[in-house]
Amino acid sequence: MILPQPPVLLITDRAQAAAPLEDVAAGALKAGCRWILLREKDMAAAERLALLRRLIVLGEAWGAAVTVATDIAAAKMAGAAGVHLPAGSDPGAARDVLGPRALIGVSAHNLEEALSAQEGGADYVTLSPIFATASKPGYGPALGLEGLRAAGARLDIPVLALAGAGAGTARSCLDAGAGGIAVMGEIMRAPDSETAMGAVLAALG
């Protein structure tokens, strides 16, 4: 499956956001972002579903894909583009629910988890932490560009660099074999998400 283009996944985190998530998303979309992952796992299910539906409507105006983390039921009910699953999950089970056209990703924190996700039928993996960041504690030492390069060489599906991947590192991640990058804090914390996302997209070259 071809990933949304440009290959930049914006992951939400309302705890870091400088503005309401819909406003952050609107700015990012205006800058050219075409893929958003609603990650608010601690949000009440009904509230998350409602927000997901609003983001989908917002995304449709820009031709953008909107997916949701973990909540397969919400993805189905809202008609989301797909779902992003935790490491060790079964992508095939999600596809059984969401259908063959769904975009299904899996988190990975090492090469073994990434290979397992690919074997399970994932369309892509996020690999983290590539660089040390406050947003991704507890997942072991940073894998660095060498770890990213090793994963990209072994996998046939796209590997998205996550944690520290942003305007300052996007080009080096792509040069190391990443199929794209996933950004969170850099956009969430920005006073102007349009400008911040614009900088990330420009860095892709």
pLDDT digit string (tens) for 103-119?
999 999 999 999 999 99
Domain span at 94? 8-203
pLDDT tens-digit readout, 84-106? 999 999 999 999 999 999 999 99
| pTM for the model | 0.95
Amino acid at 52: L
pLDDT tens-digit readout, 140-152? 689 999 999 999 9
Token representation of residue 137 = 């504690």
Token representation of residue 136 = 């991704």
**Does residue 120 lie within any of the structural domains?**
yes
**Does residue 187 lie within any of the structural domains?**
yes
Is the separation of the CB atoms in 83 and 94 below 8 Å?
yes
Give the CATH number for residue 127. 3.20.20.70
pLDDT tens-digit readout, 155-201? 999 999 999 999 999 999 999 999 999 999 999 999 999 999 999 99
**Does residue 2 lie within any of the structural domains?**
no
pLDDT on residue 141: 84
Length of the chain: 205
In 3D space, the residue among 124, 112, 95 whose CA is nearest the CA of residue 4 turns out to be: 124
Q: Cβ atoms within 10 A of the Cβ of 88, count?
A: 12
User: What burial class does residue 141 get, using C-beta atoms within 10 Å of its C-beta: 0-12 exposed, 13-18 middle, 19+ buried?
Assistant: exposed
pLDDT on residue 128: 96
Task: Please state the domain count of the chain.
Answer: 1
**Does residue 58 lie within any of the structural domains?**
yes
Query: Taking each helix axis from N to C terminus, what angle separates 91-98 and 111-120, rounded to the nearest 10 degrees?
Result: 40
pLDDT on residue 134: 62
Region 40-56: mean pLDDT is 97
- Residue 107 pairs in a beta bridge with 126
